[in-house]
Amino acid sequence: MKKIILPIFSSLLILSACGKKAESLSELKAKQAELKTQLSEITTQITKLEGDSSKKFALVVANAITPQIFKTYINVQGRVDAEESVSLAAEMPGTITKINVKPGDAVSKGQVLAETDARALQQSISDLQTNTEFVNQLFEKQKALWDQKIGTEIQFLQAKTQKESMEKKMATLQEQVRMTKIISPINGTIDAIDIKLGQLTAPGMPAIRVINFNNLKIKADLSESYSNKVHKGNEVVVKFPDSNDSLTSTINYASRSISPLNRTFGVEILLDDKKEFHPNQIAILSINDYKSEKPVITIPLNYIQKDLKGELFVLVADGKKAAKRSIILGREYNGVAEIKNGLSETDLLITSGYDGLNEGDLIEVKK
């Protein structure tokens, strides 16, 4: 505007200077007043064309506020665990003579999975069987005589004792034969076989692992500070980072006992046996510890500002001006805050262009 006014004013002064030198001082003053009037009119016209330079509009983005159910979660790492998972070993030292299964086979409780050499025991049983039959015959004859009041009681008791002793020896040998067999104690699937034919094995040496994949669950340990927030029935979102899989379930069990070693308590989540999971697989749990009773207003934390008094506020679009709304926060989670008071559904929250913006500043909402 000054670039336009100065040339005009200079030109008028030059024209005035080039006039008749005989003009009196009063005439010059009259022309000066006229020039001032013309300058004022030109200034007014330029102001109308350009607008008032003091009224600048800030370009902002404003969004409507939609209430929604607000939830917070506790994040913790857990692992998949099998309720029925056993690593079997031979009960007696010996050489592996039979392996009746292979990895992946489904087995039932009581099924013989492998056997060790039991030839010596079988021979002992065969020899004992002959003596047992003889002792049983003696007992039956002695009992028949005793029933007829023939013979002495001592003879009858001796025959009875010998018979019972043979039966106990036979039972012991048969139990030892059973111990040469590796038997599954559960229904499940063969997960691993760590033995080979002809290999020497002994109690404590891993032989065969059996897992029931129909009864898997997730276990996790939480800090005792969450003990009053996490209970049976809480919703939980489970993510498996290795398989990029996820599911939503509920806590099936929450321990009420705090471990004195690490001050934690355990939780368990049952898994659907229709999906494929792996024991000891890592799982990330997001346990819902808070849920609003009704839809509430929530906004990202980065939209919230603090004034010189320390009060929290946000800026909203009120027509062509920015308006300040003092707010009270509720819970926060994952960069989002629950607004207890200060905003309503009718407010348009300024989400971009609020830096350096003050209450009452003129704004233009970007579409």
pLDDT for position 46: 63
**pLDDT digits over 289-307, tens only?**
999 999 999 999 999 999 8
Please identify every stretch of the chain with a pLDDT value under 70, giving residue numbers as ranges. Answer: 1-24, 43-55, 273-274, 367
pLDDT for position 218: 95
pLDDT for position 96: 92
The alpha carbon of residue 343 and the mean position of all alpha carbons in its chain are separated, in whole angstroms, by 32
SS3 of 69-110: CCEEEEEEEEEEEECCEEEECCCCCEEEEEECCCCCCEECCC
**pLDDT digits over 81-127, tens only?**
988 889 999 998 999 999 999 999 999 999 999 999 988 888 888 87
What are the residues facing 82 on neighbouring strands? 216
Burial 25-47 (b: 16+ CB within 10 A, else e): eeeeeebeeebeeeeeeeeeeee
| CA–CA distance, 351 with 303 (Å, rounded to integer) | 6
pLDDT for position 1: 43
pLDDT for position 367: 62
pLDDT for position 134: 79
pLDDT for position 40: 74
| CA–CA distance, 73 with 237 (Å, rounded to integer) | 9
Nearest 5°: phi and psi at 118? -125, 20
| CA–CA distance, 197 with 97 (Å, rounded to integer) | 6
pLDDT for position 229: 92
Among the listed residues 207, 177, 200, 176, the one whose alpha carbon sits nearest the alpha carbon of residue 86: 207
Instruction: Please state, as a whole number, how many other Cβ atoms lie within 10 Å of the Cβ of residue 82.
Output: 22
| CA–CA distance, 119 with 89 (Å, rounded to integer) | 20
**Tokens 């001082």 identify what position?**
25
In which order are the strands placed within the sheet that holds 94-99?
181-183, 112-116, 94-99, 200-201
Contact 267, 254 (CB under 8 A): yes
